[in-house]
């Protein structure tokens, strides 16, 4: 099953998806890594792994034009499922409709709690005892599609947003490949 990964930065979740795909019994392969940030660190890692990359800055482009270019690159690579991994741009309803039920995302909270940004700071500020991450199907509305899987971690008394993020990220790297593998064989 051919997967395309969209990133905007570091790409550690993309790297975890790529690493897991090396297992003989993994049902997916990552055939394209695309970024809206041409200098995203994750692009270098993907290229080093021998994966095709595509980058295009949306600056100065209409959203529809930009998304048509991304869509074209994905289709040209024969992508069947899109995995968002730190992709910091909201996809339009038109784009999502074209890929209905074929886009997944990882979000660093226990959805439906803390959609959007700064999830860890918000969880700490609220006095939560637990945080985590969710893999969900992407719909037009931000972080709102059906949740496929979640992993939980404790919030410790001395946690900062960074220390909590690091603890959650370990779980993201485990949960995302496993959930994507299940999703593409559903």
Residues with a catalytic annotation lie at: 107
Q: Binder to ligand GRF among 3, 6, 13, 66 (CB under 6 A)?
A: 13
User: 64-102 burial, b if ≥16 CB within 10 A, otherwise e?
Assistant: eebbeebbebbeebebebbbbbbbeeebeeebbeebeeb
Does 12 engage in binding with ligand GRF (CB under 6 A)? yes
Tell me: is residue 145 an annotated ligand-binding position.
no
Does 82 engage in binding with ligand GRF (CB under 6 A)? no
DSSP character at residue 88: -
- Which stretch, 54-62, 70-78, 95-103, 104-112, contacts ligand GRF (CB under 6 A)? 104-112
Does 177 engage in binding with ligand GRF (CB under 6 A)? no
- For residue 15, count other CB atoms closer than 10 A to its CB: 21
Tell me: is residue 22 an annotated ligand-binding position.
no
Q: Binder to ligand GRF among 3, 5, 9, 20 (CB under 6 A)?
A: 9
**Short-list 150, 185, 186, CA closest to 1:** 185
Nearer to ligand GRF by Cβ, of 26 and 41: the residue is 41
Q: In angstroms, give the least distance from the CB of 62 to ligand GRF.
A: 25
Q: What is the DSSP string of 37-65?
A: STT-HHHHHHHHTT-EEEE---TTS-HHH
C-alpha span between 152 and 100 (Å, rounded):
28
In degrees, to the nearest 5, what angle opens at C-alpha 145 toward C-alphas 139 and 146? 145
Tell me: is residue 111 an annotated ligand-binding position.
no
**Residue stretches of the annotated binding site:** 11-13, 63, 88-91, 105
Residues that bind ligand GRF (CB under 6 A): 7, 9-13, 85-86, 106-108, 133, 169, 172
Q: Binding site for (6R)-10-formyltetrahydrofolate: residue ranges?
A: 63, 88-91, 105
């Amino acid at each position: 099953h051919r997967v395309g990964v969209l990133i905007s930065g570091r790409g550690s979740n993309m790297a975890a998806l790529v690493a897991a795909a090396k297992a003989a019994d993994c049902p997916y392969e990552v055939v394209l890594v695309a970024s809206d940030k041409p200098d995203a660190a994750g692009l270098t890692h993907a290229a080093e792994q021998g994966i095709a990359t595509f980058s295009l800055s949306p600056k100065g482009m209409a959203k529809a034009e930009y998304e048509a270019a991304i869509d074209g690159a994905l289709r040209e690579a024969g992508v069947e499922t899109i995995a968002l991994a730190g992709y910091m741009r909201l996809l339009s309803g038109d784009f999502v409709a074209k890929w209905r039920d074929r886009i997944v995302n990882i979000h660093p909270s226990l959805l439906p709690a803390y959609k959007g940004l700064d999830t860890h700071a918000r969880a700490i500020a609220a006095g939560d005892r637990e945080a985590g991450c969710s893999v969900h199907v992407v719909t037009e509305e931000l972080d709102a599609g059906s949740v496929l899987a979640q992993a939980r971690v404790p919030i410790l008394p001395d946690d900062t947003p960074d220390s909590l993020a690091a603890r959650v990220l370990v779980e993201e790297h485990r949960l995302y490949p496993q959930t994507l593998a299940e999703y593409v064989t559903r």
